[in-house]
Amino acid sequence: MLLFIDSANIQEIREAHALGVISGVTTNPSLIAKEGRNFQQVVKEIVSLVDGPISAEVVSLESGGMVEEARELAKIHPNIVIKIPITPEGLKATHILRHDNIKVNMTLIFSTNQALLAARAGAAFVSPFVGRLDDVSHDGMHLIEEMVAVFKNYYLSTKIIAASIRHPIHVSQAALAGADIATVPFKVLMQMVKHPLTDAGIAKFLADWESVKNK
Ligand code: E4P
- What is the Å distance from ligand 1's center to 6 Cα? 7
Give the Cα separation of 1 and 182 in Å (integer).
7
Using H for helix, E for strand and C for coil, what is the string for 54-72? EEEECCCCCHHHHHHHHHH
**Ligand 1 contacts CB of residue 105 (under 6 A):** no
Give the Cα separation of 11 and 203 in Å (integer).
29
Give pLDDT tens digits for 125-164: 999 999 999 999 999 999 999 999 999 999 999 999 999 9
Instruction: Name the residue of 5, 7, 129, 186 to mutate for ligand 1: max ligand atoms within 8 A of Cβ.
Output: 129
- Contact predicate 55/81, CB 8 Å: yes
- What is the Å distance from ligand 1's center to 189 Cα? 14
Q: What is the CATH number of the domain that holds 71?
A: 3.20.20.70
Minimum CA distance residue for ligand 1 atom 8: 164
Interface pTM (ipTM) of the complex? 0.97
Specify the 3-state DSSP secondary structure of 80: strand
For the chain, how many structural domains are there in total?
Answer: 1
Give pLDDT tens digits for 34-61: 999 999 999 999 999 999 999 999 999 9
Give the Cα separation of 24 and 6 in Å (integer).
9
pLDDT at 214 over 90: no
**Ligand 1 contacts CB of residue 29 (under 6 A):** no
Catalytic residues: 83
Give pLDDT tens digits for 70-105: 999 999 999 999 999 999 999 999 999 999 999 999
Which range marks the domain in which residue 46 is found? 2-212
- What is the Å distance from ligand 1's center to 199 Cα? 30
Query: Distance of CA 88 to CAs 92, 151, 188, Å?
Result: 6, 21, 33
Instruction: Name the residue of 57, 138, 164, 180 to mutate for ligand 1: max ligand atoms within 8 A of Cβ.
Output: 164
Closest approach atom of ligand 1 to CA 185: 6
**Ligand 1 contacts CB of residue 131 (under 6 A):** yes
